[in-house]
Structure 1
Amino acid sequence: MSTKKLMLLGGLRYLIPIIEEAHKLGVYVITADYLPNNIAHKYSDEYCNVSIIDKEAVLVKARDLKIDGILSHAVDPGVTTAAFVAEKMGLPFQCSYEAACILQDKAMFRKFLAENGFNSPKAKGYNNAEDALKDVDYFNWPVIVKPVDSAGSKGVTKVENKANLATAIATALSSSISKNFIIEDFLDKVGAQSSADIFTVDGKLVYPAYSDQLFDKSAANPYTPAIEIWPASMEQKFQDDLTAQLQRLFTLLNVKSGIYNVESRVCSNGKAYIMEVSPRGGGNRIAELQDMATGQSLIRNEIKKALGMPMDDISSPVYDGVWCNYIMHSSKEGTFVAVEIDEEFKRNHVRDIGFIVKPGDHIHPFTGANTSLGTLFLQFDSRKELEDALNNSDKWIQIRLK
């Protein structure tokens, strides 16, 4: 049997566990982007220099390399390209290229939700500031302004005052590849927003998952996730409602098998909202943590799916205790020296440390996933034990800058 070839779009650190798991399965891994010095290329079997947002160019390379599967795991800009290449080459993917385009474009997704009777905020997409500024009275203020095609909270601003809308639009446009943005009513949430990875098999949602996504109000961007906790504290009735909404969405989009990153929330109006659904694994190593916490492997099954290999049985997650993805970050600028963690705390609760910086690196204030220092996976016996640790983090972690 010939060795299967898997193309991974991007070269970020998030891909290293995918490469390692693929190698365990005997898979030949090709990483592809236009930055040859990205770290994942040091771990793959072959590097392909191509822009991952140029879907036609990636298709040419994929055909030349005779790949058997393609993924854009945790790499948002490459998702529609991966769907396009998979469709053109008859390879497995979560959904059609058309469905991927709907899910990946925040304006198109909001329009699809509204037209199909899902809970959705009033929203509208734009490609220029002038048209948006004429619509200030269309929305129920405050509003959120976002690029339609960015992830990791890049370019996102909550706007309380109409006079500040133009500045927020400029921020969104600066982070948009397509130079399109969306304005939507700000939904006042109850409790924590959820961000988690889920899995479908033949269009059926077999692995629904929800988390508590918390934010650092003192961060340079207070809408960048700083802490994620599993299992979620969300009431079960809302989790069940969201699972039903997601299944209806997947049925309408005629999806297949694969991983999705989903953001959702319960709002003060008593309704649960699907905020975002992306046909890829989430950033911040979400699938890695969920795999560690549940004993199931979303990563391995996503690889198997992409290559048409038989998948393991996948079922609703059960967590071994309470888990936290702690996003290490700084509130100030400086040169990174070290992260110091109390040894007893590390021994009892730290299950993984993933740095994305090294001593001597220049550190920026926390504005998005790309300005974090890395992640800690923490495990506790109870939610109270975790909350006590988070409320007293200065007792067990110190970030040293100079």
Structure 2
Amino acid sequence: MDLRGKKLLLLGGVQPTCQIIEEAHKMGVKVYVTDYLENSPAKKIADKSFMISTTDVDAVVELCKNEKIDGVFTGYTDSMLPYCQKICKKLNLPFWGDERNIDICIDKEKFKIACEKAGVPVVPWKKVNLKNYKEKIQDLSFPVVIKPVDSSGSRGVFKCYNKDEYEKFCEMAFEFSKKKELLIEKLMDMNSEISVYYMIYNGKTFLSEMGDRYVHAVNEESAPVGQGMTCPSRHLQEWQKQMESKIENFFVQNNMKNGFVFFQGFYENGNFYIHEVGYRLCGGFAYKYVEKFSGYNQIQEMIRFSLTGEMNISQLEKSNPLFYSNAFTLTLVLKAGKVKTIIGVEEISELSPIIEFCQLRFEGDSITTEGATTRVFAYILCDIKNRKDLTNLINEVKTKIKVLDEDGNNMLTEILYPEKVQLFYE
């Protein structure tokens, strides 16, 4: 179907959503953006923008009627999903999820219960609230991770190694929870993280990508920050053997028939343990690897669905997580401060292994320590043929990329050591 001239309303205009606008423009789609911020990055490249809060459902519905909007879309934020679903329902426009399965994928407790019901193994956990968190300490085995049931982006997540610190970290985590409820999870090996990506259309499941994540603990208490990811995962075949039928059962039980879904978890001692889900696009631009190695664009298919209720099944059937080369993402993360000077981006972007330098933070931006994902400076997407390519690339980045604060101090956190990376194709 020719989508040229169709109008897509995007809820929220944060920097990553600029990618959605660029993909929509390639399809000839007009993109409108609304949120309550005057200078949202996406508004600068949208065809039209509005100062209407995305949480004001009735006002957004009226906007859509007045502008004759053909589809409503949101990208990378869990909190936007319920509003987008309600707006689409009122306008009788396509949306990939329903009220129940969106809630399951946002509320961490409901997600774990749904996983257990479907036979999907999860990281061992317990739930506490303001009334009982002190007495529940007797039921815990340390170390643990403390996280709000209803937060995302690693906000309010703390590692706790003993009973003496437990109450302090719980009180800090409660500040990030509207429900004032926390999950207490077993602290897993942070060097065993995996991410898995699916497309679903009319109930048919397509495993499109699986990667091994590399993270760095900035300090002992906070959630680690990402350093990179390699695809295919070294555990891909084991995932397909152990987990594919369980994940498909999860989709069926929760009426998840369409959309983009990603899972995060751990692989330890021959077993998988899931701890996060996203029923939305993921923020690491992984879709660009699927486009390069499998030949179709996942964001464009999601845009197509939002405008028509359909995807191109022949495109989705190209999904093959066993890429023919190593897809490698190098993640650059910033310390807190205000960015004054950035050096080396253009030079690094021209290196042959690089598919794209996806920059999210710019000169003049202020960085806080609230949440790991908000501190990402850039994702460097690469096609790595061998270990020599990997080592050379990382060393070039360490030498040439500079992000300095107002006092001339380096703002980049530790960059991934090439020796730490295990490639699928060595």
* 2:88 alignment counterpart: 86
- The range that moved more, 363-372 or 252-261, is 363-372
Q: Which amino acid aligns with 1:348?
A: S
Pairwise CA distance, 1:182:
2.6
Instruction: Name structure 2 gaps, 5 residues minimum.
Output: 409-426
Pick one of 110, 120, 127 that aligns with 1:108: 110
What TM-score, normalized to structure 2? Answer: 0.82
Q: Give the corresponding residue for 1:35.
A: 37
- Secondary structure, counterpart of 1:210 in structure 2: strand
Amino acid in structure 2 at the alignment position of 1:73:
G
CA distance in 2, matches of 1:35, 1:349: 37
Matched, 1:164 2:168: no
Does structure 2 retain, via aligned residues, the 8 Å contact 1:264–1:272? Answer: yes
The equivalent residue for 1:288 is 288
Deviation at 1:101, TM superposition (A): 0.8
Instruction: Specify the SS of the correspondent of 1:211.
Output: strand
Q: SS at 1:149's partner residue?
A: coil
Within a 5 Å distance, the mapping from 1:306-321 to structure 2 comes to 306-308=306-308, 309-311=310-312, 312-314=314-316, 315-317=318-320, 318-321=322-325
Q: Which residue matches 1:258?
A: 259
Residue-by-residue CA offset, 1:259-305 (whole Å, 9 max, x unaligned): 1222132234x421232222210013232344344432101111111
Cα shift at 1:196: 4.3
1:132 is paired with a residue of what secondary structure? Answer: coil
The letter for the 2-side match of 1:272 is F
1:240 — aligned with what? 241
Q: Distance in 1 between matches of 2:380 and 2:136?
A: 43
The one-letter code sitting in structure 1 at the alignment partner of 2:7 is K
Closer/same/farther in 2, CA of residues 3 and 93 from structure 1, 3 Å limit: same
**Aligned residues of 1:194 and 1:212 also touching (Cα < 8 A):** yes
Q: Which amino acid aligns with 1:193?
A: E
Report the Cα distance in structure 2 between the residues aligned to 1:362 and 1:93, rounded to whole angstroms: 34
Partner of 1:326: 330
Shift of the 123–55 alpha-carbon distance from structure 1 to 2, 3 Å rule, reads farther
Residue of structure 2 in register with 1:72 after alignment: 74
Separation in 2 of the partners of 1:345 and 1:87? 42
2:85–2:97 Cα contact (<8 Å) kept? yes
SS at match of 1:305: helix
1:353 and 2:332 aligned: no
Deviation (angstroms), 1:256: 1.9
Equivalence for 2:184:
184
Alignment of 1:148-227 (within 5 A): 148-176=149-177, 178-189=178-189, 192-218=192-218, 221-227=222-228
Identity %: 24
**How many pairs were matched up?**
399
TM-score by length of 1: 0.87
> Secondary structure in 1 aligned to 2:171?
helix
